[in-house]
Chain A
């Protein structure tokens, strides 16, 4: 038995460890800058890439390369089998640059020319770095200008909403008046709204022209500077009639037709290529890369491969020009020392944690997703904690135990096991469509027919009487309790049922009200709260984690020794005094633990998020510096959902895989951090209640 149980324990440990190790390895390794290797293929072409992984299958190696240059090759990653390669040892060229771009992902290539300055190749890095400082300034100005544009749009939209509100309030059609500008015969309110819209439009028109000009100017400035790269993709120039062994020994100059191929023969000075201007590097067995460096000319790189008859075919590398302003980060990956790599690694992590996403989330940062998750979790906790703790307090301290309480307790325990997607469906249909629709456009929008006004008012009167009756019965029941009257149980039940009926009546009257048209009627048919958004996502999760909080709180309360309660009562303390001075402090560690576990569960939940408000790319944060700061009606990005949408819903899931692992690591780290905090807190608070009895 000890072997069996021990074995199971070992297997469990192994599984957990391997999961952790896998995610850690994949997640941590993704952002590390690797060497860029150039391989020579049997068909004579060359293929370059960062080696992400290598698997051995059936005697051949399968290499997984990040090839980049998506705009030319239309792929980010490529699998290549070692059988396709003429030589498995690659060439890592120290001159090659990796450029991370704002669009199209990584570019790998040899910098050839800078459009704005003449300089030696060794100086390129310095000039690009200097140039980037200027372009980032332009980009900042652009962002400010675009922000202004957005604000102007927003103001016009607000003015339009104002007109629409007047339309709804006065039940008139102002469309005509808005178009013609004639306000005769309209109410004062309508006149003011229309005038405001006209004024805003006028002001916006002026501002727009100015801003658009500014933007055009900045865009032009932005596209002034570009960098020309030679990409490691060959373009055949022609054949060289020469002996391969001589070529590979570097005697290119003499090969017949080499200068012609390069178009050098017609040089005015009559100078051809000297031996010093050509450097040759062997890539594979039948492949050379050579660099021609002549005075007053940009460096040219050639790819030369051996043909069957020992002659050679020459290819130039494809040229590609990119805007300097599109560069995010650049470095020569093959020339880096360990510390430089570490620096780039750190800066990539920083971007990942604090930057905005690029390329539909496949590159760049996850900040909006992290922020969205955190804000949502905080709102969720604020909703679930008071609710859950008070409910548990009632069940454990106030309610008289009986079959009803047992049934409720079992139901709550079962609720904790309901699949989370069920909560998602509930959240969508109840919160988003019914409650959200009600807030947006009143009962009609939520799908309820309002009552006629007189009926509704008489029902209101009835409800008031019901409320008074419940109050009266509760007071009576309280007195019966102190007198230990035989009717106390009946009164207790009657009071509870009456209160329940009152509550139901309030809800019923609300959804049948003929006098409520919603807070966001003017925005319709665009929903404000009648769709998935931060508020509903948080409330759905609050509902999902409610059982966790209730169960944990109940357990914490039941762990409070009864002798403490009795001791407190014996001192003449009341019920509430006992609860708040003795029971709650003693149960606090347990309650906090439950709360943090609920937070961890809520932060990691994905399925309901898909239905009630998480979106793959949000332009606005749910909590920002713009009034009213917390935007409950905005959709948001969520870390867990981001993993799902990147890994399975993006147009290039294969390319997004490394990012998925990094995001997984981050999510795992957040959840682990929350759980660790819970454990630490519990241990710390428990220490205070430790007793040294006997």
Chain B
């Protein structure tokens, strides 16, 4: 508990990252990253790798900055006027925050899924191929191919293949979220960012999404924010525990849940606080 109190008091804090994580090749490398909302600091000197081909879960109590960190990866925080950052992240070796980076091109290299399903008010087909449409892609065969591939990838194809031209809003909540995942993987992203994708879904839909994430493992590198410890333990390969804007401990999921280095981590994952 002392370390948590130290963090709350604003003392500097050294994250514990286990070597088995550091030894693998990262798809996104976060380097000494801090973020401020106006004067208020939300993230403190975070350094961590997101390993290629694996599922990394961000856990921690509400307001610990895990969503902010996730949204920093594809620079969605740019949309907030008062945001200022320090440090950098690298996407496959390319800087994300360098001034010369075209943020639109950057976002095209990632896919993102939000808490609440947000299908666009257009047909299922158009929803899936939206990332290609904004690139000006008009080739019908290619669009059809990508649509089927992405929907199959998101385990939605069999449910919607006969009504691709109905509104995306006509689907159920779980289907809508899988549609959003299909949209996110349509442009073949280098990393997939999932921001509590199951928090607005019922248990059955949640189960389907978790199965889907399990299927996507290996093919895509996934960073997922979750509130749900069981979910993190079920689906992730690596887990990072955050607290008040700091990364506390990061390791393989089994390590975090069974024998973490820090007692604070153990307290959190066993539900003793948070």
Which residue numbers of A lie inside 8 Å of B, CB to CB? 400, 482-484, 561, 563-564, 566-574, 577, 581-582, 585-586, 688-694
Q: Provide the residues of chain A in CB contact with B130, threshold 8 Å.
A: 568, 571, 573, 581
Q: Provide the residues of chain B in CB contact with A582, threshold 8 Å.
A: 120-121
Residue of A nearest to B74 (CB): A570
Structural contact, B76 and A572, CB atoms closer than 8 A:
no
Structural contact, B173 and A572, CB atoms closer than 8 A:
no
11 A-B pairs whose Cβ atoms sit less than 8 Å apart in the complex: A482-B99, A563-B116, A566-B79, A569-B76, A570-B111, A570-B193, A572-B131, A572-B134, A691-B176, A692-B172, A693-B117
- B117 to nearest A CB, angstroms? 7
How many inter-chain residue pairs (CB < 8 Å) link A and B?
Answer: 91
- One of A482, A564, A569, A585 near B107 (C-beta < 8 A): A569
Q: Does B33 contact A (CB under 8 A)?
A: no
* Given A571-B184, A574-B134, A586-B121, 17 further pairs, Cβ under 8 A: A400-B81, A566-B79, A567-B114, A570-B74, A570-B112, A570-B184, A571-B131, A571-B183, A572-B106, A572-B107, A573-B104, A573-B134, A577-B134, A581-B133, A585-B121, A693-B173, A694-B173
Residue of B nearest to A691 (CB): B169
Complex: A571 Cα to B167 Cα, angstroms: 19
Q: Provide the residues of chain A in CB contact with B74, threshold 8 Å.
A: 570
Structural contact, B122 and A585, CB atoms closer than 8 A:
yes
Complex: A483 Cα to B85 Cα, angstroms: 12
- A35 to nearest B CB, angstroms? 61
Q: Does B108 contact A (CB under 8 A)?
A: yes
Q: Provide the residues of chain B in CB contact with A692, threshold 8 Å.
A: 169-172
Q: Does B158 contact A (CB under 8 A)?
A: no
Q: Does B9 contact A (CB under 8 A)?
A: no
Structural contact, A564 and B120, CB atoms closer than 8 A:
yes
- One of B99, B102, B118 near A564 (C-beta < 8 A): B118
Complex: A563 Cα to B118 Cα, angstroms: 6
Which residue numbers of B lie inside 8 Å of A, CB to CB? 74, 76, 79, 81, 99, 102-108, 110-112, 114, 116-118, 120-122, 130-131, 133-135, 167, 169-173, 176, 180, 183-184, 187, 193, 202
Residue of A nearest to B176 (CB): A693
Residue of B nearest to A688 (CB): B167
Complex: A65 Cα to B183 Cα, angstroms: 76
- B221 to nearest A CB, angstroms? 16
Structural contact, B79 and A569, CB atoms closer than 8 A:
yes
- One of B79, B105, B114 near A572 (C-beta < 8 A): B105
Structural contact, B131 and A567, CB atoms closer than 8 A:
no
Complex: A569 Cα to B167 Cα, angstroms: 20
Structural contact, B173 and A689, CB atoms closer than 8 A:
no
- B131 to nearest A CB, angstroms? 4
- A262 to nearest B CB, angstroms? 88
Residue of A nearest to B168 (CB): A691
Q: Provide the residues of chain B in CB contact with A690, threshold 8 Å.
A: 169
Q: Provide the residues of chain A in CB contact with B105, threshold 8 Å.
A: 572
* Residue from B104, B133, B172, B187 with most neighbouring chain A CB atoms (10 Å): B104
Residue of A nearest to B78 (CB): A484
Complex: A691 Cα to B172 Cα, angstroms: 8
Structural contact, B120 and A570, CB atoms closer than 8 A:
no
Structural contact, B121 and A566, CB atoms closer than 8 A:
no
Complex: A571 Cα to B105 Cα, angstroms: 10
- A478 to nearest B CB, angstroms? 13
Complex: A571 Cα to B135 Cα, angstroms: 10
Structural contact, B114 and A568, CB atoms closer than 8 A:
no
- A534 to nearest B CB, angstroms? 39
Q: Provide the residues of chain B in CB contact with A694, threshold 8 Å.
A: 172-173, 202
Structural contact, A688 and B134, CB atoms closer than 8 A:
no
Structural contact, B118 and A567, CB atoms closer than 8 A:
yes
Structural contact, A574 and B104, CB atoms closer than 8 A:
yes
Residue of B nearest to A489 (CB): B81
Give the 3 A-B residue pairs with the shortest CB-CB distance, closest first: A572-B108, A570-B112, A691-B169
Q: Provide the residues of chain A in CB contact with B112, threshold 8 Å.
A: 567, 570
Q: Provide the residues of chain A in CB contact with B193, threshold 8 Å.
A: 570
Complex: A573 Cα to B130 Cα, angstroms: 9
Q: Provide the residues of chain B in CB contact with A483, threshold 8 Å.
A: 99
- One of B116, B120, B173, B202 near A568 (C-beta < 8 A): B120
Residue of B nearest to A578 (CB): B134
- B204 to nearest A CB, angstroms? 12
Complex: A691 Cα to B130 Cα, angstroms: 19
Q: Provide the residues of chain A in CB contact with B102, threshold 8 Å.
A: 482
Residue of A nearest to B135 (CB): A572
Q: Provide the residues of chain A in CB contact with B103, threshold 8 Å.
A: 482
Structural contact, A566 and B169, CB atoms closer than 8 A:
no
Q: Provide the residues of chain B in CB contact with A566, threshold 8 Å.
A: 76, 79, 114, 118
Residue of B nearest to A479 (CB): B99
* Residue from B74, B102, B120, B131 with most neighbouring chain A CB atoms (10 Å): B120
Complex: A582 Cα to B176 Cα, angstroms: 17
Structural contact, B187 and A571, CB atoms closer than 8 A:
yes
Q: Provide the residues of chain A in CB contact with B187, threshold 8 Å.
A: 571-572
Residue of B nearest to A400 (CB): B81
Complex: A570 Cα to B102 Cα, angstroms: 14
- A587 to nearest B CB, angstroms? 10
- B80 to nearest A CB, angstroms? 11
Residue of B nearest to A402 (CB): B81
Structural contact, B121 and A689, CB atoms closer than 8 A:
yes
Complex: A564 Cα to B116 Cα, angstroms: 10
Residue of B nearest to A577 (CB): B134
Complex: A572 Cα to B193 Cα, angstroms: 14
Residue of A nearest to B117 (CB): A693
Q: Provide the residues of chain B in CB contact with A693, threshold 8 Å.
A: 117, 169, 172-173, 176
- B30 to nearest A CB, angstroms? 19
- B237 to nearest A CB, angstroms? 24
Q: Provide the residues of chain B in CB contact with A581, threshold 8 Å.
A: 120, 130, 133-134
Complex: A688 Cα to B119 Cα, angstroms: 13
Q: Known contacts A690-B169, A693-B172: does B121 contact A570 (CB below 8 Å)?
A: no
Complex: A564 Cα to B171 Cα, angstroms: 16
Q: Provide the residues of chain A in CB contact with B176, threshold 8 Å.
A: 691, 693
Q: Provide the residues of chain A in CB contact with B134, threshold 8 Å.
A: 571-574, 577, 581
Complex: A571 Cα to B137 Cα, angstroms: 14
Complex: A585 Cα to B120 Cα, angstroms: 10
Q: Provide the residues of chain A in CB contact with B107, threshold 8 Å.
A: 569-572
Q: Provide the residues of chain A in CB contact with B135, threshold 8 Å.
A: 572
